Amino acid sequence: MQTQLQYYANYLAVEKGLARNTLESYRRDLEKFITYMKKQKKTNPEDIDRQALNAFIGELKKKGYATSTISRCIASIRSFFNFLLQEGVIENNPALDLESPRIEKKLPRVLTTSEIDKLLGQPKPGEHNGLRDKAMLELLYASGIRVSELVSLNVTDFDPRVGYLRCRGKGMKERIVPIGSVAISYVKEYLGNSREKLVKNGDENALFVNHHGCRMTRQGFWKILKKYARKSNIQGDITPHTLRHSFATHLLENGADLRSVQEMLGHSDISTTQIYTQITRKKIREVYDKAHPRA
């Protein structure tokens, strides 16, 4: 099965064009699955039946894996066996009717507009690093892009004249996202005053660079965000995705339609975007309960 896993990984990367992080998730899940099956003396795909799959899922539950992790594992296994079926390696997919455990969706953390103002007000634009940090935070909240998309931006992806940003999302799918005047002004100021002071190599095309003058990494941005989150004294954990959640929720609260928000976030399925309508409904209910005399 190890050889088939390699073929499958190549298929996902080349033909499906999946993002690196997604590929790694599939590989980790399937490595775990194959390791378990080896211990059960089942090394060939034809050896795997429904009973063996249920035993593996039971093992995951016994070890205390989260429901979401188990559900993802099942999806990875199902997809792997579908591939083996297409390739003629097996005649039947034993994972076809495997039931995934129900996942209770937690509503994402969303900052209020005053908390956003507090967080985005922490960097000091008078310093080169501070101006870069201010530009990154403003751009992240203005566009709702993922942190991986933020650090992947090149200088040529930012066009202040039309007020749009070109970014590459999951599976390297490209989309155009509008950005507001505040973010545009800080990114322009950063490009005009600070980036050239931070870049060490003139051939570097990354929009945002670290103190080494190289492309900013996801981990590097996380550290920056955590520093400003501590300074702002906002309760609870703040991640780069918190700004993305806040972006989407604030748009919907102020009248944006769901399809437009879906397009800006780069969601392939609108059901993923619909979680933000639950947040806005929850807030409406809270307002009603506080304001109505007979609530």
> Are 276 and 245 a contacting pair, CB within 8 Å?
yes
For residue 73, give the nearest of 45, 54, 51, 90 by alpha carbon: 54
Give CA–CA dist 56/34, Å, rounded.
Answer: 10
User: Looking at 118, 218, 267, 283, which residue is catalytic?
Assistant: 267
276 is catalytic: yes
Q: How many C-beta atoms surround the C-beta of residue 25 within 10 A?
A: 17
Look at phi and psi of residue 227 and say left if phi exceeds 0, alpha if psi is from -120 to 50, else beta: alpha
User: Looking at 20, 241, 259, 281, which residue is catalytic?
Assistant: 241
105 is catalytic: no
170 is catalytic: yes
User: Looking at 170, 175, 215, 218, which residue is catalytic?
Assistant: 170
Q: How many C-beta atoms surround the C-beta of residue 154 within 10 A?
A: 15
Q: Enter the tokens of residue 204.
A: 């570097």
212 is catalytic: no
244 is catalytic: yes
146 is catalytic: yes
Look at phi and psi of residue 41 and say left if phi exceeds 0, alpha if psi is from -120 to 50, else beta: left
Q: How many C-beta atoms surround the C-beta of residue 226 within 10 A?
A: 13
Sheet of 158-159, strand order: 158-159, 164-168, 174-178
User: Looking at 42, 132, 195, 244, which residue is catalytic?
Assistant: 244
Give CA–CA dist 10/80, Å, rounded.
Answer: 12
User: Looking at 146, 168, 195, 250, which residue is catalytic?
Assistant: 146
Q: How many C-beta atoms surround the C-beta of residue 3 within 10 A?
A: 7
Give CA–CA dist 139/41, Å, rounded.
Answer: 53
Residues taking part in catalysis: 146, 170, 241, 244, 267, 276
